[in-house]
Amino acid sequence: MADVRVLVIRAAGINCDEEVMHAWRLAGASPSLVHVNTLAGKPAMLDDYSILTIPGGFSYGDDIAAGAILARRLQDDLAARLRAFVNGGGGILGICNGFQVLVKMGLLPGGEFGRDKVTVTFNASAKFEARWVRLQVCTACCPYLQEGNVLEMPVEHAEGKVVTADDTVTDKLLGTGRVALRYVDDDGRHDVYPANPNGSTAGIAGLCDSTGRVFGLMPHPDRHFDHTQHPHWTRRNNPTRPPDGLTVFQNAVRFWSS
Amino acid sequence: MHRDRAASSQRWHIQVSPRRPDLDGHGRDVLADVRQIGLEHIEGVRSSRVYLLEGRLLESDVRLLAEELLCDPVAEVFEVREGFARRDDIDGAIEVHPLPGVMNPAALSTLDAAGRLLASQGRSQARVEAVQTARRYVILGARNAPELEQIAARVLANNCIETWFIRGFGRSDPIPDALPTPRERPFELRHIPIRRLTDDELTRLSREAHLFLSLSEMRTIRDHFDKLNREPTDLELETLAQTWSEHCVHKTFRSSIVYRGEDFGRPGTIEVRFDNLLKDTIVAATAKLNRDWCLSVFVDNAGIVAFDEEYGIAFKVETHNHPSAIEPYGGAATGVGGCIRDIMGCGLGAKPIASTDVFCLAPPDFDPTRLPAGVLHPRRVLKGVVGGVRDYGNRMGIPTVNGAIYFDERYLANPLVFCGCIGLIPRDRILKEPRFGDLIVVAGGRTGRDGIHGATFSSAELTEQHADEFSHAVQIGNAIEEKKLLDALLIARDDSDGCLYSAVTDCGAGGLSSAVGEMGAELGAVVDLEKAPLKYAGLRYDEIWISEAQERMVFAVSPDRIDRFLSVFAEEEVEATVIGTFTDDRILRVRYKGQSVGELDMAFLHNGLPRTVRTASWTSQPRSSTPGCYKTVTSDIANDTLLQTLSSLNIASKEWVIRQYDHEVQGRSVIKPLVGTGFGPSDAAVLRPRYTSYRGIAIGCGLCPEWTDVDPYWMAVRTIDEALRNVVCVGGDPERTSILDNFCWPKCDCEESLGALVRACRGASDAAVAYGLPFISGKDSLNNEFSMSADEARRTGLPQSIAIPGTLLVSALAQIEDVRHCVSMDLKEPGNRLILASAPVDRHGMEKARSIHHLVSHCIRDGKVRSAHDVSDGGLATALAEMCIASGLGAVIDMPQEYDRHSMFTPVATTYVLEMKQVDADASGFPIIGQMTNLPRLSISQGASRWIDLGVEEMARAWRSPLAQGGGH
Read off the pLDDT of residues B169-197 as tens digits, 9 standing for 90 and up. 889 898 888 887 777 778 899 999 999 99
Give CATH superfamily name and number for B10-172.
Phosphoribosylformylglycinamidine synthase subunit PurS (3.30.1280.10)
Number of domains in chain A: 1
Distance CA A227, CA A231 (A): 9
Distance CA A252, CA A92 (A): 10
pLDDT of residue B510: 85
Note the pTM of the prediction, 2 decimals: 0.95
Residues of B in contact with A226 (CB under 8 A): 667, 688
Q: Do A228 and B688 touch (CB under 8 A)?
A: yes
pLDDT of residue B472: 55
Residues of B in contact with A127 (CB under 8 A): 29, 659-660
Q: Do A119 and B72 touch (CB under 8 A)?
A: yes
pLDDT of B725 above 50: yes
Q: pLDDT of B445-475, one tens digit each?
A: 999 877 666 555 555 565 655 544 444 556 7
Distance CA B256, CA B611 (A): 7
pLDDT of residue B462: 59
Partner-chain residue, chosen from A77, A121, A127, that has the shortest CB–CB distance to B23: A121
Partner-chain residue, chosen from B105, B109, B666, that has the shortest CB–CB distance to A18: B666
Q: pLDDT of B663-685, one tens digit each?
A: 999 999 999 999 999 999 999 99
Q: Is residue A57 part of a domain?
A: yes
Residue of B nearest to A72 (CA): B69
Residues of A in contact with B661 (CB under 8 A): 128, 130
Residue of A nearest to B822 (CA): A234
Beta strands at B890-894 and B928-933: parallel, antiparallel or unpaired:
antiparallel
Residues of A in contact with B116 (CB under 8 A): 72-73, 76
pLDDT of B956 above 90: yes
Residue of A nearest to B818 (CA): A228
Q: pLDDT of A183-217, one tens digit each?
A: 999 999 999 999 999 999 999 999 999 999 999 99
The share of chain A scoring above pLDDT 90, in percent, equals 93
Q: CB of A134 within 8 A of CB of A151?
A: yes
Could you tell me the pLDDT band of residue B900, with boundaries at 50, 70 and 90? confident
Q: CB of B53 within 8 A of CB of B130?
A: yes
Q: Provide mean pLDDT across the span B904-932.
A: 93
Determine the 3-state secondary structure of B648 from DSSP.
Answer: coil
Partner-chain residue, chosen from B117, B658, B823, that has the shortest CB–CB distance to A76: B117
Partner-chain residue, chosen from B110, B117, B824, that has the shortest CB–CB distance to A234: B824
CATH topology of domain B432-605: Phosphoribosyl-aminoimidazole Synthetase; Chain A, domain 2 (3.90.650)
Question: Which residue of B394, B655, B658, B683 is the best one to mutate when testing the A interface, meaning the one whose CB has the most A CBs within 10 A?
Answer: B394
Q: Do B828 and A235 touch (CB under 8 A)?
A: yes
Partner-chain residue, chosen from B105, B676, B822, that has the shortest CB–CB distance to A61: B105
The share of chain B scoring above pLDDT 90, in percent, equals 78
Q: Do B667 and A225 touch (CB under 8 A)?
A: yes
Task: From the candidates B97, B320, B606, B853, give the one annotated as an active-site residue.
Answer: B320
pLDDT of A141 above 70: yes
Q: Is residue A150 part of a domain?
A: no
State which residues form the domain around A41. 5-123+159-172+211-257
Domain ranges of chain B: 10-172, 199-253, 432-605
- The mean pLDDT of chain A is 95
* Backbone torsions φ then ψ of B62, nearest 5 degrees: -65, -40
pLDDT of residue B1: 47
Neighbours of B83 (CB within 10 A): 14
Q: Could you confirm whether B247 is annotated as catalytic?
A: yes
Distant-in-sequence, close-in-space partners of B593: CB < 8 Å, separation ≥ 6:
B187, B530
Q: ipTM of the predicted structure? A: 0.96
Could you tell me the pLDDT band of residue B639, with boundaries at 50, 70 and 90? very high
Determine the 3-state secondary structure of B133 from DSSP.
Answer: strand
Please tell me the distance in Å from A117's CA to the nearest CA on chain B: 6
Q: CB of A222 within 8 A of CB of A55?
A: yes
Could you tell me the pLDDT band of residue B630, with boundaries at 50, 70 and 90? low
Distant-in-sequence, close-in-space partners of A120: CB < 8 Å, separation ≥ 6:
A66, A67, A99, A100, A103, A104, A159, A160, A161, A162, A163, A218
Q: In what order do the strands lie in the sheet with B416-426?
A: B294-296, B303-306, B311-319, B416-426, B351-361, B400-407
Q: Do A61 and B665 touch (CB under 8 A)?
A: no
pLDDT of B844 above 60: yes
Neighbours of B10 (CB within 10 A): 17
Distance CA B470, CA B223 (A): 30
Distance CA A75, CA B117 (A): 10
pLDDT of residue B968: 45
Could you tell me the pLDDT band of residue B891, with boundaries at 50, 70 and 90? very high
Q: Provide mean pLDDT across the span B901-905.
A: 85
The share of chain A scoring above pLDDT 70, in percent, equals 100
Q: Do A126 and B26 touch (CB under 8 A)?
A: yes
Determine the 3-state secondary structure of B671 from DSSP.
Answer: strand
pLDDT of residue B351: 98
Q: Is residue A53 part of a domain?
A: yes
Could you tell me the pLDDT band of residue B36, with boundaries at 50, 70 and 90? confident
Distance CA B827, CA A78 (A): 53
pLDDT of residue B965: 72
Q: Is residue A55 part of a domain?
A: yes
Please tell me the distance in Å from A16's CA to the nearest CA on chain B: 6
pLDDT of residue B99: 83
Partner-chain residue, chosen from B74, B674, B820, that has the shortest CB–CB distance to A117: B74
DSSP structural state of residue A243: P
DSSP structural state of residue B297: -
Q: What is the CATH classification number for the domain harbouring A11?
A: 3.40.50.880
DSSP assignments along A122-156, one per residue: --TTSS-EEEEEEEEE--SS-TT--TT-EEEEEEE
Q: pLDDT of B731-777, one tens digit each?
A: 999 999 999 999 999 998 889 999 999 999 999 999 999 999 999 99
pLDDT of residue B470: 46
Please tell me the distance in Å from A56's CA to the nearest CA on chain B: 9
Residue of B nearest to A194 (CA): B659
pLDDT of residue B635: 62
pLDDT of residue B487: 97
Distant-in-sequence, close-in-space partners of A15: CB < 8 Å, separation ≥ 6:
A55, A56, A57, A58, B395, B396, B397, B483, B665, B666
The β-bridge partners of B599 are: B589
Three-class secondary structure assignment of B492-526: HHCCCCCCCCCEEEECCCCHHHHHHHHHCCCCCEE
Please tell me the distance in Å from A58's CA to the nearest CA on chain B: 6
Q: pLDDT of B136-178, one tens digit each?
A: 999 999 999 999 999 999 899 988 788 999 998 889 898 888 8
Q: Provide mean pLDDT across the span B873-900.
A: 95
Distances (CA, A) of B330 to A47, A139, B11, B104, B550: 45, 45, 29, 12, 11
Q: CB of A49 within 8 A of CB of A213?
A: no
Distance CA B846, CA B106 (A): 54
Residue of A nearest to B664 (CA): A223
Question: Which residue of B120, B353, B662, B677 is the best one to mutate when testing the A interface, meaning the one whose CB has the most A CBs within 10 A?
Answer: B662
Q: pLDDT of B298-317, one tens digit each?
A: 999 999 999 999 999 999 99
Question: Which residue of A235, A236, A238 is the best one to mutate when testing the B interface, meaning the one whose CB has the most B CBs within 10 A?
Answer: A235
Partner-chain residue, chosen from B73, B478, B691, that has the shortest CB–CB distance to A115: B73
Task: From the candidates B2, B247, B322, B377, give the one annotated as an active-site residue.
Answer: B247
Number of Cβ pairs < 8 A linking chain A and chain B: 169
B272, with CB counted inside 10 A (0-12, 13-18, 19+), is: middle
Distance CA B759, CA B36 (A): 42
Q: pLDDT of B679-703, one tens digit each?
A: 999 999 999 999 999 999 999 999 9
Q: Provide mean pLDDT across the span B491-511.
A: 94
Question: Which residue of A234, A236, A237, A238 is the best one to mutate when testing the B interface, meaning the one whose CB has the most B CBs within 10 A?
Answer: A234
Closest listed residue to residue B428, CA positions, set B547, B508, B347: B347
Distances (CA, A) of B581 to A124, B304, B437, B527: 54, 29, 6, 7
Q: pLDDT of A25-47, one tens digit each?
A: 999 999 999 999 999 999 999 99
Distance CA B658, CA B12 (A): 40
Q: Is residue A143 part of a domain?
A: no
- The mean pLDDT of chain B is 92
* Backbone torsions φ then ψ of B525, nearest 5 degrees: -155, 150
A136-140, A223-227, B30-34, B903-907: range with lowest mean pLDDT: B903-907
Q: Do B660 and A126 touch (CB under 8 A)?
A: no
Torsion of the alpha carbons at B565, B568, B569 and B570, rounded to the nearest 10: 120
Q: pLDDT of A57-93, one tens digit each?
A: 999 999 999 999 999 999 999 999 999 999 999 999 9
Residue of B nearest to A198 (CA): B25
DSSP structural state of residue B534: B
pLDDT of residue B469: 47
Distance CA B49, CA B136 (A): 6
